[in-house]
Amino acid sequence: EPEVTQTPSHQVTQMGQEVILRCVPISNHLYFYWYRQILGQKVEFLVSFYNNEISEKSEIFDDQFSVERPDGSNFTLKIRSTKLEDSAMYFCASSSAETYGYTFGSGTRLTVV
Amino acid sequence: AQKVTQAQTEISVVEKEDVTLDCVYETRDTTYYLFWYKQPPSGELVFLIRRNSFDEQNEISGRYSWNFQKSTSSFNFTITASQVVDSAVYFCALSIMNYGGATNKLIFGTGTLLAVQP
Protein backbone atom coordinates (compact mmCIF):
# COMPACT_ATOMS: atom_id res chain seq x y z
CA GLU A 1 0.00 0.00 0.00
CA PRO A 2 1.32 3.48 -0.87
CA GLU A 3 2.88 5.39 2.00
CA VAL A 4 3.73 8.95 2.92
CA THR A 5 7.37 9.00 3.94
CA GLN A 6 8.80 11.52 6.40
CA THR A 7 12.42 12.17 7.27
CA PRO A 8 14.02 12.40 9.72
CA SER A 9 11.99 10.51 12.30
CA HIS A 10 13.53 12.54 15.09
CA GLN A 11 15.46 15.80 14.99
CA VAL A 12 17.05 17.73 17.81
CA THR A 13 17.98 21.34 17.15
CA GLN A 14 19.13 24.34 19.09
CA MET A 15 16.82 27.28 19.61
CA GLY A 16 17.20 29.81 16.83
CA GLN A 17 18.36 27.29 14.25
CA GLU A 18 16.56 26.60 11.00
CA VAL A 19 15.12 23.15 10.40
CA ILE A 20 13.68 21.52 7.32
CA LEU A 21 11.32 18.61 7.67
CA ARG A 22 10.92 16.46 4.60
CA CYS A 23 8.02 14.48 3.24
CA VAL A 24 7.42 12.37 0.16
CA PRO A 25 3.66 12.26 -0.47
CA ILE A 26 1.90 9.49 -2.33
CA SER A 27 2.76 9.92 -5.97
CA ASN A 28 -0.70 10.46 -7.46
CA HIS A 29 -1.98 12.68 -4.66
CA LEU A 30 -2.37 16.37 -5.40
CA TYR A 31 -3.13 17.85 -1.99
CA PHE A 32 -0.49 18.10 0.71
CA TYR A 33 -0.67 19.08 4.35
CA TRP A 34 1.37 19.65 7.46
CA TYR A 35 -0.02 19.10 10.95
CA ARG A 36 1.52 19.55 14.37
CA GLN A 37 0.96 17.69 17.62
CA ILE A 38 2.45 19.07 20.80
CA LEU A 39 3.08 16.25 23.26
CA GLY A 40 -0.13 15.07 24.87
CA GLN A 41 -2.32 17.39 22.84
CA LYS A 42 -4.49 17.14 19.77
CA VAL A 43 -3.34 17.19 16.18
CA GLU A 44 -3.52 20.71 14.73
CA PHE A 45 -3.66 21.78 11.10
CA LEU A 46 -0.80 23.99 9.93
CA VAL A 47 -1.05 24.36 6.17
CA SER A 48 -2.45 22.87 3.00
CA PHE A 49 -0.80 23.02 -0.40
CA TYR A 50 -2.28 22.50 -3.84
CA ASN A 51 -1.19 23.35 -7.34
CA ASN A 52 2.14 24.66 -6.08
CA GLU A 53 0.72 27.16 -3.68
CA ILE A 54 -0.64 27.41 -0.17
CA SER A 55 -4.40 26.94 -0.20
CA GLU A 56 -5.01 27.47 3.49
CA LYS A 57 -2.97 28.10 6.61
CA SER A 58 -3.77 28.27 10.28
CA GLU A 59 -2.88 30.95 12.80
CA ILE A 60 0.02 28.78 13.94
CA PHE A 61 1.61 29.02 10.49
CA ASP A 62 3.25 32.41 10.90
CA ASP A 63 6.18 33.98 9.06
CA GLN A 64 8.60 31.58 10.71
CA PHE A 65 7.11 28.73 8.68
CA SER A 66 7.27 28.05 4.98
CA VAL A 67 6.49 25.13 2.71
CA GLU A 68 7.90 24.15 -0.61
CA ARG A 69 7.62 21.47 -3.22
CA PRO A 70 11.11 21.75 -4.67
CA ASP A 71 10.74 18.90 -7.14
CA GLY A 72 8.07 16.47 -8.26
CA SER A 73 8.22 14.31 -5.17
CA ASN A 74 9.31 16.14 -2.02
CA PHE A 75 7.23 18.44 0.15
CA THR A 76 9.11 20.34 2.85
CA LEU A 77 8.29 22.36 5.94
CA LYS A 78 10.88 24.93 7.01
CA ILE A 79 10.99 26.60 10.37
CA ARG A 80 13.35 29.58 10.07
CA SER A 81 14.29 30.24 13.67
CA THR A 82 13.09 27.54 16.01
CA LYS A 83 11.67 28.27 19.42
CA LEU A 84 11.26 25.95 22.38
CA GLU A 85 7.51 25.86 21.77
CA ASP A 86 8.05 24.46 18.28
CA SER A 87 8.93 21.15 19.92
CA ALA A 88 6.26 18.77 18.66
CA MET A 89 5.50 15.89 16.35
CA TYR A 90 5.03 17.12 12.80
CA PHE A 91 2.90 15.05 10.47
CA CYS A 92 2.78 15.31 6.71
CA ALA A 93 -0.31 14.08 4.86
CA SER A 94 -1.49 13.83 1.31
CA SER A 95 -4.90 13.30 -0.23
CA SER A 96 -6.56 12.58 -3.50
CA ALA A 97 -9.71 14.35 -4.65
CA GLU A 98 -10.81 11.34 -6.63
CA THR A 99 -10.79 8.80 -3.84
CA TYR A 100 -10.55 11.21 -0.94
CA GLY A 101 -7.92 8.98 0.52
CA TYR A 102 -6.12 10.83 3.30
CA THR A 103 -2.80 9.35 4.37
CA PHE A 104 -0.47 10.51 7.12
CA GLY A 105 3.24 9.92 7.37
CA SER A 106 4.72 8.46 10.52
CA GLY A 107 5.80 11.89 11.73
CA THR A 108 8.97 13.78 12.63
CA ARG A 109 9.53 14.42 16.31
CA LEU A 110 11.21 17.81 16.59
CA THR A 111 12.91 18.69 19.85
CA VAL A 112 14.18 22.24 20.30
CA VAL A 113 16.70 22.67 23.10
CA ALA B 1 -16.95 27.07 12.34
CA GLN B 2 -16.28 23.40 12.65
CA LYS B 3 -15.54 21.59 15.87
CA VAL B 4 -15.04 18.05 17.12
CA THR B 5 -15.61 17.13 20.75
CA GLN B 6 -14.37 13.99 22.43
CA ALA B 7 -15.60 14.42 25.97
CA GLN B 8 -13.92 11.28 27.30
CA THR B 9 -10.32 12.13 28.09
CA GLU B 10 -9.37 8.69 29.39
CA ILE B 11 -11.10 5.34 29.56
CA SER B 12 -9.80 2.27 31.33
CA VAL B 13 -11.30 -1.15 30.74
CA VAL B 14 -10.36 -4.72 31.43
CA GLU B 15 -9.58 -6.99 28.53
CA LYS B 16 -12.63 -8.48 26.80
CA GLU B 17 -14.89 -5.65 27.86
CA ASP B 18 -16.71 -3.66 25.19
CA VAL B 19 -15.95 0.05 25.07
CA THR B 20 -17.51 2.96 23.21
CA LEU B 21 -15.63 6.13 22.37
CA ASP B 22 -17.84 9.16 21.82
CA CYS B 23 -17.44 11.81 19.14
CA VAL B 24 -19.68 14.82 18.61
CA TYR B 25 -19.09 17.22 15.75
CA GLU B 26 -20.33 20.64 14.74
CA THR B 27 -20.60 21.98 11.24
CA ARG B 28 -23.06 23.94 9.15
CA ASP B 29 -21.94 22.25 5.99
CA THR B 30 -24.09 19.50 4.57
CA THR B 31 -21.24 17.66 2.88
CA TYR B 32 -18.41 16.46 5.05
CA TYR B 33 -16.30 13.47 6.02
CA LEU B 34 -15.75 11.98 9.46
CA PHE B 35 -12.68 9.98 10.39
CA TRP B 36 -11.31 7.92 13.22
CA TYR B 37 -7.57 7.50 13.76
CA LYS B 38 -5.65 5.40 16.26
CA GLN B 39 -2.40 6.70 17.72
CA PRO B 40 -0.45 3.95 19.50
CA PRO B 41 2.44 4.77 21.86
CA SER B 42 4.81 4.72 18.89
CA GLY B 43 3.14 7.94 17.72
CA GLU B 44 1.96 7.34 14.18
CA LEU B 45 -1.62 8.03 13.10
CA VAL B 46 -3.33 4.89 11.93
CA PHE B 47 -6.40 5.38 9.75
CA LEU B 48 -9.43 3.39 10.92
CA ILE B 49 -12.44 4.67 9.00
CA ARG B 50 -13.79 7.45 6.83
CA ARG B 51 -17.50 8.10 6.49
CA ASN B 52 -19.22 10.70 4.34
CA SER B 53 -22.20 12.71 5.47
CA PHE B 54 -24.55 11.03 3.02
CA ASP B 55 -23.95 7.56 4.34
CA GLU B 56 -25.50 6.96 7.74
CA GLN B 57 -25.16 3.22 7.57
CA ASN B 58 -23.35 1.78 10.54
CA GLU B 59 -20.18 -0.07 9.75
CA ILE B 60 -18.54 -3.09 11.29
CA SER B 61 -15.00 -4.22 10.72
CA GLY B 62 -14.03 -7.17 12.86
CA ARG B 63 -14.18 -6.05 16.50
CA TYR B 64 -14.68 -2.42 15.48
CA SER B 65 -18.00 -0.78 14.75
CA TRP B 66 -19.08 2.77 14.11
CA ASN B 67 -22.43 4.42 14.74
CA PHE B 68 -23.08 7.57 12.72
CA GLN B 69 -26.15 9.61 13.67
CA LYS B 70 -26.65 12.91 11.89
CA SER B 71 -29.61 13.75 14.11
CA THR B 72 -27.31 14.01 17.11
CA SER B 73 -24.13 14.92 15.16
CA SER B 74 -22.35 11.94 16.61
CA PHE B 75 -19.97 9.37 15.21
CA ASN B 76 -19.25 6.90 17.99
CA PHE B 77 -16.74 4.07 17.87
CA THR B 78 -17.17 0.77 19.67
CA ILE B 79 -14.52 -1.86 20.27
CA THR B 80 -15.98 -5.25 21.12
CA ALA B 81 -14.01 -7.65 23.31
CA SER B 82 -11.16 -5.19 23.82
CA GLN B 83 -7.56 -6.38 23.81
CA VAL B 84 -4.39 -4.95 25.34
CA VAL B 85 -3.20 -4.07 21.81
CA ASP B 86 -6.15 -1.68 21.52
CA SER B 87 -4.51 0.59 24.09
CA ALA B 88 -3.89 3.88 22.31
CA VAL B 89 -5.19 7.40 21.86
CA TYR B 90 -8.13 7.54 19.48
CA PHE B 91 -8.92 10.69 17.52
CA CYS B 92 -12.11 11.62 15.76
CA ALA B 93 -11.77 14.15 12.94
CA LEU B 94 -13.97 16.16 10.58
CA SER B 95 -13.26 17.38 7.07
CA ILE B 96 -15.45 19.60 4.96
CA MET B 97 -15.82 18.51 1.38
CA ASN B 98 -14.67 21.32 -0.82
CA TYR B 99 -15.44 20.64 -4.46
CA GLY B 100 -12.80 23.14 -5.43
CA GLY B 101 -10.49 20.61 -3.88
CA ALA B 102 -8.19 23.19 -2.36
CA THR B 103 -8.83 22.80 1.36
CA ASN B 104 -9.91 19.54 2.96
CA LYS B 105 -8.03 20.02 6.19
CA LEU B 106 -8.88 17.68 9.06
CA ILE B 107 -10.20 19.13 12.30
CA PHE B 108 -9.32 16.82 15.14
CA GLY B 109 -10.89 16.24 18.51
CA THR B 110 -8.73 16.19 21.60
CA GLY B 111 -8.55 12.42 21.62
CA THR B 112 -9.49 9.68 24.05
CA LEU B 113 -6.80 7.65 25.76
CA LEU B 114 -7.94 4.04 25.99
CA ALA B 115 -6.12 1.79 28.42
CA VAL B 116 -6.98 -1.88 28.24
CA GLN B 117 -5.80 -3.76 31.29
CA PRO B 118 -4.99 -7.48 31.05
User: Which A-chain residues 6-65 have CB contacts (< 8 A) with chain B?
Assistant: 30-31, 33, 35, 41-45, 48, 50-51, 55-56
- Work out the average pLDDT over A75-99: 92
Mean pLDDT for chain B overall = 92
Among B80, B67, B89, which residue's Cα sits nearest to residue B18?
A: B80
- Work out the average pLDDT over A61-86: 94
- Work out the average pLDDT over A10-31: 94
Q: What is the pLDDT of residue B40?
A: 95
CB contact under 8 A, A104 and B109: no
Q: Which residues contact A59 (CB under 8 A, 6 or more apart)?
A: none
Beta bridge partners of B95: B33
Residues of B within an 8 Å Cβ radius of A = 33, 35, 37, 43-45, 47, 50, 91, 93, 95, 97, 101-111
Shortest distance, CA A9 to any CA of chain B (angstroms): 11
Mean pLDDT for chain A overall = 93
Q: Which residues in chain B are closer than 8 Å to A44, comparing Cβ atoms?
A: 108
Strands, E assignment, B40-111: 46-52, 59-61, 64-69, 74-79, 88-96, 107-108
- Say yes or no to pLDDT of A85 above 60: yes
Q: What is the pLDDT of residue A111?
A: 98
CB contact under 8 A, B33 and A44: no
CA dist B114 to A12, A99, B24, B39, Å?
30, 30, 18, 10
Q: Which residues contact A36 (CB under 8 A, 6 or more apart)?
A: A43, A44, A46, A60, A88, A89, A90, A91
Q: What is the pLDDT of residue A58?
A: 95
What percentage of residues in chain B have a pLDDT greater than 70?
95
A72 or B92: which leads in pLDDT: B92
Contact present, A58 and A68 (Cβ < 8 Å)? no
Question: What is the amino acid identity at position A12?
Answer: V
Among A110, A74, A73, which residue's Cα sits nearest to residue A91?
A: A110
How far is A45 from A58, CA to CA, in rounded Å? 7
Q: Which residues contact A38 (CB under 8 A, 6 or more apart)?
A: A44, A85, A87, A88
How far is B63 from A16, CA to CA, in rounded Å? 48
B34 or A102: which leads in pLDDT: B34
What percentage of residues in chain A have a pLDDT greater than 90?
76
Among A41, A35, A59, which residue's Cα sits nearest to residue A108?
A: A35
- Work out the average pLDDT over B77-99: 92
Q: Which residues in chain B are closer than 8 Å to A100, comparing Cβ atoms?
A: 33, 50, 97, 104
Which of A3, A9, A38, A42 is best to mutate for the B interface (most B CBs within 10 A)? Answer: A42
- Work out the average pLDDT over B80-86: 97
What percentage of residues in chain A have a pLDDT greater than 70?
96
Q: What is the pLDDT of residue B100?
A: 58
Comparing CB atoms, the residue among A41, A48, A107 nearest residue B105 is A48
Residues A1-10 pLDDT 10s: 779 999 999 9
